[in-house]
Amino acid sequence: MSAHLKLDDVHSAIENGARTKNEIAEHVGKSPSNTNRKLKQWVENDDVRLDRQWNHGDGGGYVYTIPAEDAVDDVEDLPILGSRDYDWDRFVPSEDDVADYQQADQELDEIEAVLEARETTGQLPRFQITGPTGCGKTTLAEFVAADRGAPMITIQCNYALRGAELLGTPQIVGGDVMWVDGPLTRALLASRDREVVVLIDEVTRATARSKGTLFPALDHRAEVKIKPRGNEVVSGRAEDLITVATMNEGSEYETESLDAAEERRLGLKWELPYLGQHSPDLEAELVAGKTPMDTADARVLVDAANVVRDAAEDESEPRITRGVPTPGVISWAQTASAFDARGLDDPVGRAMQSAIVKPVYGEAAGDVAGKLHSALKQAEHELVVRNDEVSV
């Protein structure tokens, strides 16, 4: 038996009726955990013919499929996976898994105001959120969905995205060719029954051609036409289709520009800073809540991270183009706590290199390390001063 799982073996398993990770693992003679890890890697690789969809019947779980490469005759007659009997509750984010969202400048209040008044104003709930990586754009969308008990459907944009993928494609499922609805089709179907939050993630990474499929769904029509299925029209309720389009803007990101028609359909716009830039105490509390580090020490990391964030916004610092994302600060605190428990020297400095400098900054690593070291010393000094003032 081969030591490594092969894609051809997985394809063979699916063609012979295996659908879930456990069925595939049994067919290929591998452990479910190793099989699941490899399947996830392949699904996220655009060059690999392997997809997965959530199974809305038979106890849920993911069903693995093979995109049908060749044209399929009579696509409009293909059976639809799950027959569109979706259990939308399965798409609602759990409040236990979604972080509390901390506003930068009342953007959440403003979004909720638009949502609450849309029946009166007639304004469609379309929102754009821009800001640096790790500032909370996706968390905002997740929080809105969880708070409203709404299903959340994600459209992950990238340069290879094809418009057809948004609507659906023929797939090989358990040895049979079936039609599998895409995320945009599912979102429209969900909006017929209830509010649905559609996260259009990194919208500026998709080409204008692929985004054209979104246009009729985002305006008052709220519909798409699926040509392979005999020009089937799938409509939703425009007012219950809540879209949140996230994006990075700036010369440091490789992105496609949005034209006026896209901007109009994507709706209102907010720009988010890092949480620590507008509320360092809140970010310190967030870091402390997710790590063994206490709030005072977490504030030291946040203050140091803010120095690099400010430098990334300063045109006189051309080598530093990225700030420290909030998840990076959390990783820094987690790693420092682990190093400290092990008794390693300078756990915060070592963790800074492992969690921030080396994985994030590449050629600018030296510049960032220097700034962080200096900022740490200054923040630690200020912490000592604050403690002395409290003790007095």
Q: For helices 295-312 and 280-290, what crossing angle results, to 10°?
A: 120
Going by C-alpha positions, the residue among 293, 280, 289, 284 that lies closest to residue 334 is 293
Q: Sorting pLDDT into bands at 50, 70 and 90, what band is 331?
A: very high
Q: What is the pLDDT of residue 79?
A: 86
DSSP state at residue 383: H
Q: What residue type is 223 in one-letter code?
A: E
What is the pTM (predicted TM-score) of this model? 0.76
User: Cα-Cα-Cα-Cα dihedral of 210, 215, 218, 219, to 10°?
Assistant: 180
pLDDT in tens, 221-257: 999 999 888 899 999 999 999 999 999 865 555 666 7
pLDDT in tens, 81-94: 888 889 999 999 98
Is the separation of the CB atoms in 383 and 296 below 8 Å? yes
DSSP annotation string for 126-168 = EEEEE-STTSSHHHHHHHHHHHHT--EEEEE--TT--HHHHHE
Most confident segment among 237-241, 269-273, 309-313: 237-241
